[in-house]
Amino acid sequence: MVSIVFGLATAICFAAGSLAASRAVKLIGAYSTVAWAMLIGLTATIPLVLIAGIPTGLTGTNSIWWAVSGLGNVTGLLLGASAFRFGKVGVVAPIIATEGAIAATIAAILGESIAPLAAFVLLVIVGGVVLASIGKDPAPIPNERPGRAAILATIGAVAFGIALYATGNLSDELPIAWLLLPARSVGVVALFIPLLLLKKLKITKMAAPFLVLLGFVEILGFTCYAIGAQYGVAVTAVLASQFAPIAAIMAYLLFQEKLGRVQIVGVTTIVAGVVALILI
C-alpha cells in the first residue's frame, strides 16, 4: 500500500511539474525556467541537507556518481523544457517518461546482456516515439514543431536515464536530501549565476507561480519516489511513470491541447512499453 500511495504521489508531482514547465518556458525560455526552478529547489533542499549532516558515503567513486547525477538531471531538465517550447505536453511528457526504461537498460548493458523480450519492448517504445512525433496534429499550438520536440525530449530522457542510474548507485549510500542536492547545485552554479551575471535571467509575474510550483514538485516527487521504492521498486516505478498520461489529460482539460489519432496511438504505445519494460 505504501508503494502505491507514494507511486501515485510521484506521478501527480511529475505531472504538475510537466504542466508548469510547459507554461513557464513559453514565457521566459528554457534556460531561465530551469535556472529559477533549481534555485527554488536548492533553497528548499539546504535545510534538509543541514539536518541530515555530512554523509560518510560521499567519497571515491560515489562522488563521481554524485556529479553525474547532478549534470544528468540538469541536462535532462533543459532538454525537456526546450521540448515543451515546440511540442504539446501529451507528446513530450510520455517520451520523457521513458527515463526509467533507459536507466534500466543502462543497468542491463553494464551488468548483463539485455533479454530478447526487453530489446523488443525497447523497439516498440522507439516506434511509439516516432508515431507520436509524426502523427497529424488536429489543433497545432503556436510555434509547434513535433519532430524537434520529440528529438529534444528523447535526448532529455537519455540524460535523465543516466542521472537515474547514477542516483541508483547512491541510493543506499546517501540520505535523500543529499540525492536532491547535486542537480540543484549544478543548476544554480552552471545556469542561475551565469545568467544573472550576464543579465540574461528572465522572470515575469505570469511565470513566477509556475516556477515556484516546478521547483517544489520536482523535490517532492523525487522524495515520494525514494520513499515508495523502499517498499516496492517495481510498483512505485510503474505508477510514477503514469505521470505522462496524467499530464496529457490535464493539458487537454486546462490548455485544450488535443492529440490526433496517430499521436494517441504513439503515446499509448510509449506508456505501455515503459510499464512492460519495468515489469520484465
User: Does position 52 have pLDDT exceeding 70, yes or no?
Assistant: yes
Residue bearing cell 535523465: 160
Instruction: Judge contact between 212 and 38, C-beta under 8 A.
Output: no
Q: What is the CA radius of gyration of the chain?
A: 18
pTM of the model: 0.86
pLDDT digit string, tens, across residues 75-117: 999 999 999 999 899 889 888 988 877 877 777 777 655 667 7
| Domain range annotation of the chain | 31-202+253-279
pLDDT one-digit tens code per residue, 194-251: 999 999 999 999 999 999 999 999 999 888 888 887 777 667 777 787 888 888 888 9
**The predicted structure's pLDDT at residue 278:** 66
Burial of 4 (0-12, 13-18, 19+ CB in 10 A): middle
The mean-pLDDT minimum among 25-39, 62-76, 158-172 falls in 158-172
Task: Output DSSP code: residue 241.
Answer: T
